[in-house]
């Protein structure tokens, strides 16, 4: 089904509301990592018929079937379907887990796939490699776009079911910017350019410091 880049929903606002509760950070909880191994091969539900997981969850055909998953969205480089022959539908989004990677630019394809699955009564697993950054960002983006919640609220919803999620700094800023744009994909502009502009002054400063250090070393050797 075609996806309207600015879909309207009953009760939706022009921009997501700000959370009344402040979030101290978007990092996974260190004390929750002890449960990681015991649950990481199982899809974890973040919304109606929407699940998050790692590569191990996608390998677990029995677990996906038990959750009612019919569609799998792979958000990482180099992943291939494990169960395409079992009747599952797959979509692959080739994206690296790097701050300068424009993940929101892929939201249209991701959301279209999720909407198509839901339209047919199916469930969707969104996974990357570890189920920490890329898949979490897509799930958070869906919650923001579909339910018109803030980035902080979307993080809390995903964090509640998967406490070790931690989108990288670039993805976090993209989600916040996405929220400021009213979750309107048609208003999104290239992130890579924005991130490079932010990085260049720091890069130049580091180069200057390195050169100063080399000059001091040469003076000591004279």
Catalytic residue set: 128
Distance CA 137, CA 42 (A): 19
User: Cα-flanking dihedrals φ and ψ of residue 50, to 5°?
Assistant: -130, 125
Residue 115: left (phi > 0), alpha (psi -120 to 50), or beta? alpha
> Which of 154, 153, 120 has its CA nearest to residue 140?
154
> Which of 100, 104, 84, 92 has its CA nearest to residue 186?
104
Distance CA 51, CA 69 (A): 8
Cβ-proximal residues to 94 (8 Å cutoff; 6+ apart), any chain: 76, 77
Which is it for the CA torsion 45, 46, 48, 50, positive or negative? Answer: negative
User: Cα-flanking dihedrals φ and ψ of residue 127, to 5°?
Assistant: -140, 155
DSSP symbols for 35-89: GHHHHTTS-EEEETTEEEE-HHHHH-HHHHHHTTEEEEEEESTT---SSGGGT-E
């Amino acid at each position: 089904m075609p996806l309207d880049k600015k879909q309207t929903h009953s009760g939706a606002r022009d921009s997501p509301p700000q959370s009344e509760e402040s979030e101290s950070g978007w990092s996974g909880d260190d004390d929750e990592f002890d449960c990681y191994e015991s649950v990481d091969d199982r899809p974890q539900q973040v919304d109606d018929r929407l699940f998050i997981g790692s590569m191990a969850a996608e390998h677990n055909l029995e677990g996906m079937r038990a959750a009612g998953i019919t569609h799998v969205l792979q958000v990482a480089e180099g992943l291939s379907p494990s169960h395409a022959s079992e009747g599952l539908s797959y979509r692959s989004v080739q994206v690296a887990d790097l701050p300068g990677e424009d993940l929101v630019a892929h939201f249209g394809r991701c959301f279209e796939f999720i909407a198509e699955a839901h339209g047919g009564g199916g469930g969707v697993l969104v996974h990357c490699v570890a189920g920490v950054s890329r898949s979490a960002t897509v799930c958070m983006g869906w919650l923001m776009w579909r339910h018109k919640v803030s980035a902080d609220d979307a993080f809390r919803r995903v964090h509640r079911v998967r406490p070790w999620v931690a989108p990288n700094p670039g993805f976090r800023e993209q989600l916040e910017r996405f929220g400021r744009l009213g979750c309107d994909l048609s208003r999104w502009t290239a992130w890579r350019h924005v991130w490079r502009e932010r990085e260049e002054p720091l890069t130049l400063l580091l180069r200057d410091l390195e050169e100063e250090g080399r000059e001091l070393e040469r003076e000591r050797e004279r």
